[in-house]
Structure 1
């Protein structure tokens, strides 16, 4: 598994209905994309829960070839044409787990990035994060959790999808507009590494 995300921060007065319409009319185009485990079409709207308007889709790839094909294809080029070329963050997958509400469509996502301090052994940090991810998957309303690492910056990505509002956990909260999941079953319930 590989995780990937790009964030497009929009002006404070941007009409987020434009992004909602974009996802409503184009989101289905990835519903059968080869190599894609799932794509969560995510937004944050400036206000009580977010300091910014943002479109920030997050991908979990079941095969790196799918990610590479997407980045070379017309879908990503459409993002570049409309918003400029975003910085694409990516992480190597450590675990993916279906949650207690795995059969439901998520309405909320939480993403938390955590640096592994120089004083902490990477293996110990990854093990602790994996246990946290497992606990979250067992929480009521959890649709799925994923954990990944960027070993260049020693950063962990904690990502979770929720049927409704999640419990009080740290991280950025997003609204899920659409979920494409052509190869979700290939992400598995396994530890990777």
Structure 2
């Protein structure tokens, strides 16, 4: 499993309905994308739920590198580049994925939290803690799914969780989920 995200931070007065219409019009295009586990179309609106910025920040879990590369090099990503410029794309190696206790519920919110891997800590211990945190998140009321991954270039972990409500039981940056494309969700490794 590979995790990926890019963030488009938009002006404070940006009409976020433009992003909502874009996702409503194009979101379904990845509903059958080969190699994609899932894509959560995420937004934050400045001043809503404490968000400091307007942002479009989709988060992906890939089952295959070929699917990810096909998306980035000749797929729908070119539309983002054409319309907004080329954003920096973060990538993480997957550590854990788990369906949540509310797995069959619609996705309404997502939480992303990054943590630095401290120096001097045995990596196996830290990563085992990250996997346990993933399990804890997936077991919380309202959890649709949870994933954890690590960026070894920055030595950071990311915890990504999706919820069926607007008040998730997780710490981190809160996003609204506009759409969830999940053609290979059932094949993401647990």
Q: Give the TM-score normalised by the residue count of structure 2.
A: 0.97
Residue of structure 1 in register with 2:72 after alignment: 71
Whole-angstrom distance in 2 between the partners of 1:156 and 1:55: 21
SS of residue paired to 1:127:
helix
Whole-angstrom distance in 2 between the partners of 1:52 and 1:151: 27
SS of residue paired to 2:76:
helix
Residue of structure 2 in register with 1:34 after alignment: 34
Where in structure 2 are the equivalents of 1:99-178 lying within 5 Å? 99-178=100-179
Moved beyond 4 Å, runs of 4+ = none
Q: What number of residue pairs does the alignment pair up? A: 189
1:166–1:145: structure 2 CA closer, same or farther, 3 Å change rule? farther
Q: Once superposed, what is the RMSD of the aligned Cα atoms?
A: 1.0
Whole-angstrom distance in 2 between the partners of 1:157 and 1:80: 25
SS of residue paired to 1:133:
helix
What's the CA shift string for 1:6-45, capped at 9, x where partnerless? 0000000000000000000000000000000000000000
Once the 2 structures are TM-superposed, how far is the Cα of residue 90 of structure 1 from its aligned partner?
0.3
What's the CA shift string for 1:131-159, capped at 9, x where partnerless? 11101111111000000001111110100
Residue of structure 2 in register with 1:6 after alignment: 6
Contact 1:38 1:180 (C-alpha < 8 Å) held by counterparts? yes
Contact 1:43 1:55 (C-alpha < 8 Å) held by counterparts? yes
SS of residue paired to 2:101:
coil
What's the CA shift string for 1:161-189, capped at 9, x where partnerless? 00003444321000000000001011032
What's the CA shift string for 1:55-76, capped at 9, x where partnerless? 0000000111100000012410
Residue of structure 1 in register with 2:83 after alignment: 82
Contact 1:142 1:166 (C-alpha < 8 Å) held by counterparts? no
Whole-angstrom distance in 2 between the partners of 1:52 and 1:77: 24
Residue of structure 2 in register with 1:94 after alignment: 95
Whole-angstrom distance in 2 between the partners of 1:124 and 1:166: 30
List runs of 5+ in structure 2 lacking aligned partners: none
Whole-angstrom distance in 2 between the partners of 1:158 and 1:44: 17
